Amino acid sequence: MDKLEKLINKYLELHPNSETPLNYYNLLGEDKLIEVLENSNGRQIKWIESFTGDVLDGGMIQYI
């Protein structure tokens, strides 16, 4: 959790007006969220919902 906390703090310093990446924790899990934050390279991240068929919780991360 220390690595995740450091990455989140760094992200929020770069993007103070964006929502916290912790909102994606339950969707992605700790390891995937760490990977997303490491690969963001200073870009903002956003969850894009995609509802298909009977699936109501689908989606993906998009770098902005």
pTM of the model: 0.82
Contact 58, 51 (CB under 8 A): yes
Tell me how far the alpha carbon of residue 27 is from its chain's centroid.
Answer: 9
HSE-CB of 57 using CA atoms within 13 angstroms:
4
DSSP for residue 20: P
CA–CA gap between residue 28 and residue 9 (Å, rounded): 18
Helix (H, G, I), strand (E, B) or coil at 62: strand
Domain residue limits, the chain: 2-63
Residue 58: predicted pLDDT = 72
Residue 16: predicted pLDDT = 94
Contact 63, 44 (CB under 8 A): yes
Q: In this predicted model, what pLDDT tens digit does every residue of 9-48 receive, in sequence order?
A: 999 999 999 999 999 898 889 999 999 999 999 999 988 8
Residue 53: predicted pLDDT = 64
